[in-house]
Chain A
Amino acid sequence: MIKRLFIFMMLALMATIFFNLASNYDEKSTLSKLGHYYVEKGPQEIGAPNLVTAVVVTYRGLDTLGEVTVLFISAAGVGLLLRRSRRKQDGERPEENIRASKPASEIVETATQLLLPMIILFGIYVFMNGHLSPGGGFQGGAIIASGTMFLLLALPESHLSRLMIAITESLSGFSYVVVGVLGVILAGGFLDNRFMDLGTYGDLFSAGAIPLIYTFVGLKVGFELSAVLDRFRQEESA
């Protein structure tokens, strides 16, 4: 009872704070100073039409590296928590193994084989065009991982190569940092995209190193999330 009272009091206090914040809220009619600078100078300095990408990859690129690191650590944490113990593999619960091995119907299998390359291609399109249109490395990676999810749901027997995932993920993470360091050596600072030619504004291969960085981020995120999904899948059928 006293617990409920505390919960109610806390929610009421939070609601009061939020109400005050919302009632004093005024919609902005101009950009903030920082936003104004990014919108004004971004297109010339970075060469990316998508200004959110310019902020994420270049102006605040260090944050994005931290973000990729957080995602990596959480994927590693999931792997550590859901690792398979050897004893459980000897078929402790055989009835579940039988249920898991029931094959999908032919329609599902054919549709998967038809759609999966397209989903992965769309993911690649999204992260390659991250500097031109809405999207980017994280979104493209999430689309690739959704393709993996589709594969694991439709064909539960399919096997993802752990080694391949680990190698691709490590290589793309490493290349991301190398590109950042190249920015220090050849241009203005860490993760500066201008060590490569800025190219024609609005082209696919423009905006310096942004497509390169987003490709690495997209591959890393896609494979990382696929590994997380695979861990949860194995946990279910273990």
Chain B
Amino acid sequence: MNMLTDFPVSLIVLCSGFILILIGLWGMLTQQNMIRIIIGFSLMDTGIHMVMVSIGYVTGGTAPIINNAVPINEAVNLVVDPVPSALVLTAIVIGLGVTAVMLSFAVRLHKAHRTLKIDELTESKW
């Protein structure tokens, strides 16, 4: 019981993030289908976001928004770090952009080769 209450919340998020990164990496390395590779990338992306958010957590902290619950004078002791949250906001948008470009590459390759299997695209293989 004591161990449960002492267990930090952010460690759960951190470990889930690491597990997602590993699953995503495994998917990117082993899957043949290009769409599945892109899904692997998205999973890894999400895992990295979770790790970053958990690093910014401060014990007992709440969202860094000043309101009735977080008075301006005591905010320093009540909120989590706003910097990792801002970085994750940037990272989510950039991940979205990268995913969109990857998907359009997949569409083009499918159009040209009529297949989504990455092993059949042999002309760029060394």
Contacts and interface: CB of A to CB of B under 8 A. Distances in A.
Contact of A11 (B9, B26, B57): B26
Contacts of A36: 76
Given A25-B11, A35-B82, A78 B18 contact: no
A63 interface: yes
A97 interface: no
Interface in A3-53: 4, 7, 10-11, 14-15, 18, 21-22, 25, 27-32, 34-36, 38-40, 42-43, 49-52
A97 to B, nearest CB: 17
A163 interface: no
A85 B15 CA distance: 47
A182 B105 CA distance: 39
Contact of B65 (A60, A133, A231): A133
Interface in B36-53: none
Contacts of A70: 93-94, 97
B118 interface: no
Interface in A214-233: 221, 228, 231-232
A67 interface: yes
B28 to A, nearest CB: 10
Contacts of A43: 66, 72, 75
B85 to A, nearest CB: 5
A81 B104 CA distance: 6
B101 A51 contact: no
Contacts of B35: none
Given A28-B59, A228-B100, A67 B86 contact: no
B86 A56 contact: yes
A176 interface: no
B89 interface: yes
Contact of B29 (A10, A18, A21, A52): A10
Interface string B53-66: 00011110001111
Nearest to B88: A52
Interface of B: 8-11, 14-15, 18, 21-22, 25-26, 29-30, 56-59, 63-67, 72, 75-76, 79, 81-83, 85-86, 89-90, 92-94, 96-98, 100-101, 103-105, 107-108
Interface of A: 4, 7, 10-11, 14-15, 18, 21-22, 25, 27-32, 34-36, 38-40, 42-43, 49-52, 54-56, 60, 63-64, 67, 70-71, 73-75, 77-78, 81-82, 133-134, 136, 138, 221, 228, 231-232, 235
Given A27-B58, A38-B83, A78-B101, 13 more contacts: A11-B25, A11-B26, A28-B81, A31-B81, A40-B76, A50-B65, A51-B65, A52-B86, A74-B97, A75-B100, A231-B104, A232-B107, A235-B104
